[in-house]
Structure 1
Amino acid sequence: MAHVVRAIEAVVALPAYREQVLADAPAIAHIGAGGAQGVFFGYDFHLDQDRLGLIEINTNAGGAMLNAVLARAQRSCCQAVQAMAPDGASVTTFEQRLVDMFRREWRLAGNSRPLASIAIVDEAPQQQYLYPEFLLFRQLFERHGLQAVIADPSELACRHGRLWHGELAIDVVYNRVTDFYLDLPANAVLRQAWQEQAAVLTPHPQAHALYADKRRLALFSDEAALRALGVADDDRQVLLANVPRTEVVDAAHGDRLWAARRSLFFKPAAGFGSRAAYRGDKVTRRVWEEIMTGAYVAQAFVPPGERVIPNEGGSSQSMKFDLRAYAYAGGVQWVAARVYQGQTTNFRQPGSGFAPVYTTVDASGRGMGEAEGEYASYVFLLDAEGEVHALPHVLYVALARGQALAPMLAGRTLRLADWYVRLQAGGEPGAVVNETYGLVRFDGEGRFNLEAAPGDTAWPTPAERRRMQELLLS
Structure 2
Amino acid sequence: MIVDPSSPQPLACDAMCANVRSMEALNRDCHCVAVAPEAMHEALALAVGAHGLPSTFTDSHQNLFAALPVYVSREHLAELDRVVAAVHATVVLPDYQAAVLAWAPEIAQFDPGTPGGMLGLDFHITPDGPRLIEINTNPGGALLNALVGQALHSCMPDIVTSPTDMEEAEEHVLQVMRQEWMHQAGSRPLVSVAIVDEAPATQYLYPEFLLFRELFMRHGIDATICDPAELERRHGRLWVHGKAVDMIYNRLTDFPLAASTHETIRASYLAGEVVVTPHPRAHALYADKRNLALLGDREFLSRAGATLDVIDTLTSAVPTTTLVTIENRDELWRQRRRLFFKPAAGFGSKASYRGDKLTRRVWEDIGVSAYIAQELVPPSERHTRGDNGPLKSDIRVYAYQGQPLLYAARLYQGQTTNFRTPGGGFAPVLTSTE
What is the TM-score of this pair, normalised by structure 1?
0.73
Q: Does the aligned pair in 2 maintain the 1:48–1:304 contact within 8 Å? A: yes
What does residue range 109-128 of structure 1 map to in structure 2 within 5 Å? 109-128=184-203
Query: Partner letter of residue 117 of structure 1?
Result: S
Q: Does the aligned pair in 1 maintain the 2:154–2:161 contact within 8 Å? A: no
User: 5+ residue gaps in structure 1?
Assistant: 361-366, 368-392, 394-474
The alpha-carbon deviation at position 291 of structure 1 amounts to: 2.1
2-side partners of 1:233 and 1:23: how far apart?
A: 25
Match of 1:29 in 2: 108
Match of 1:169 in 2: 244
What does residue range 360-399 of structure 1 map to in structure 2 within 5 Å? 360=432, 367=433, 393=434
Structure 2 residue matching 1:70: 3-state secondary structure = helix
Match of 1:344 in 2: 416
How many aligned residue pairs are there? 355
Q: Does the aligned pair in 2 maintain the 1:157–1:189 contact within 8 Å? A: yes
Q: Which runs of 4+ in 1 moved over 6 A?
A: none
1-side partners of 2:365 and 2:161: how far apart?
A: 45
Q: Are 1:318 and 2:390 matched, yes or no? A: yes
Match of 2:314 in 1: 239
Query: Partner letter of residue 181 of structure 1?
Result: P
What does residue range 263-282 of structure 1 map to in structure 2 within 5 Å? 263-282=338-357
Q: Does the aligned pair in 2 maintain the 1:158–1:198 contact within 8 Å? A: no
What does residue range 432-451 of structure 1 map to in structure 2 within 5 Å? none
1-side partners of 2:104 and 2:337: how far apart?
A: 31
The alpha-carbon deviation at position 86 of structure 1 amounts to: 6.3
Q: Does the aligned pair in 1 maintain the 2:118–2:176 contact within 8 Å? A: no
The one of 53, 60, 79 aligned to 2:131: 53
The alpha-carbon deviation at position 316 of structure 1 amounts to: 6.0
The one of 97, 100, 103 aligned to 1:18: 97
Q: Does the aligned pair in 2 maintain the 1:5–1:330 contact within 8 Å? A: yes
**Considering only aligned residues, what root-mean-square deviation do their CA atoms show, in Å?**
1.5
1-side partners of 2:358 and 2:431: how far apart?
A: 37
1:64–1:253 Cα change, 3 Å: same
1:24–1:282 Cα change, 3 Å: closer
Structure 1 residue matching 2:211: 3-state secondary structure = helix
Deviations 1:258-301 (A, max 9, x none): 22111111101111100111111111111221223321100111
The alpha-carbon deviation at position 237 of structure 1 amounts to: 0.5
Query: Partner letter of residue 229 of structure 2?
Result: S
1-side partners of 2:129 and 2:282: how far apart?
A: 28
Query: Partner letter of residue 161 of structure 2?
Result: M
1:215–1:316 Cα change, 3 Å: closer
Structure 2 residue matching 1:247: 3-state secondary structure = strand
User: 5+ residue gaps in structure 2?
Assistant: 1-79
Q: Does the aligned pair in 2 maintain the 1:308–1:316 contact within 8 Å? A: no
Q: Which has the larger radius of gyration?
A: 1
Match of 1:200 in 2: 275
Match of 1:329 in 2: 401
Instruction: Say which structure is richer in strand.
Output: 1
Query: Partner letter of residue 246 of structure 1?
Result: T
Deviations 1:133-165 (A, max 9, x none): 000111111111111110101111111111111
Query: Partner letter of residue 319 of structure 2?
Result: P
Deviations 1:398-419 (A, max 9, x none): xxxxxxxxxxxxxxxxxxxxxx
Q: Are 1:130 and 2:200 matched, yes or no? A: no
Match of 1:85 in 2: 162
When structure 1 is superposed on structure 2, of 325-334 and 108-117 the one drifting more is 108-117
2-side partners of 1:49 and 1:224: how far apart?
A: 26
What does residue range 150-189 of structure 1 map to in structure 2 within 5 Å? 150-189=225-264
1-side partners of 2:296 and 2:342: how far apart?
A: 16
